[in-house]
Amino acid sequence: MIEWIIRRSVANRFLVLMGALFLSIWGTWTIINTPVDALPDLSDVQVIIKPAIPVRHRKSLKIR
């Protein structure tokens, strides 16, 4: 299988070079256009939960 791939690659040098050139240009374009945060947000994720029941005292709520 590997031998077949090598033979086909040598026989089609132009296509192999064009493919490599295309992948190089595409990779460079992708790296340049990737958005990067200058200062990433490293804080913990916070979630606010709003219950659908009326507000009660903490003592009357059952905490599991």
- Going from N- to C-terminal start, the domains of the chain cover 1-33
CB 33 within 8 A of CB 40: no
> Which of 58, 51, 20, 53 shows the shortest CA–CA distance to 12?
20
Encode pLDDT of 2-57 as tens digits.
Answer: 999 999 999 999 999 999 999 999 999 999 999 887 787 788 888 888 777 666 66
Distance, CA of 10 to CA of 12 (rounded, Å): 5
What pLDDT, on the 0 to 100 scale, is given for residue 28? 98
What the block records as the tokens of 12 is 């089609």
